[in-house]
A = this chain, B = another copy of it.
């Protein structure tokens, strides 16, 4: 289960290399290879960090001076994306615009997030038109 993946096992080298640093638009994120691979094997992030025998393998991007893979996208809207890969729930704070997260889900090819994000966008729209109709 999810706790195990953070333990240092005897095969220390293999485990260490399973930590992956990302530089998304200037902000650093740290995660594990299994988080990027498990949820959606055909997503861009899964393909970038997949095993060599994955037929959809993509080359990862270049890394910055700290070894973090560069990704030219919004860091703010990447946070709920990465949390979704960690635990499978779409969770947004109140002030976050779901349209911003939708753009990232589409870009990264995380198709399973899209219906939930579309629903959050509709709810926000109906709330806002309710407020209008109050006056």
Q: Contact residues of A with B, CB < 8 Å?
A: 2-3, 5-8, 12, 15-16, 19, 21-23, 25-32, 35, 44, 58-62, 64, 70-74, 76-77, 79, 82-83, 86-87, 89, 91-97, 99-100, 103, 107, 127, 130-135
Contacts and interface: CB of A to CB of B under 8 A. Distances in A.
A31 B35 contact: no
A75 to B, nearest CB: 8
Nearest to A98: B91
Chain A at the B interface: mostly helix, strand, loop or mixed?
mixed
A86 B73 contact: yes
A131 B103 CA distance: 28
Given A62-B19, A93-B100, A107-B2, A32 B72 contact: yes
Given A134-B135, A135-B133, A6 B61 contact: yes
A97 B103 contact: no
A112 to B, nearest CB: 17
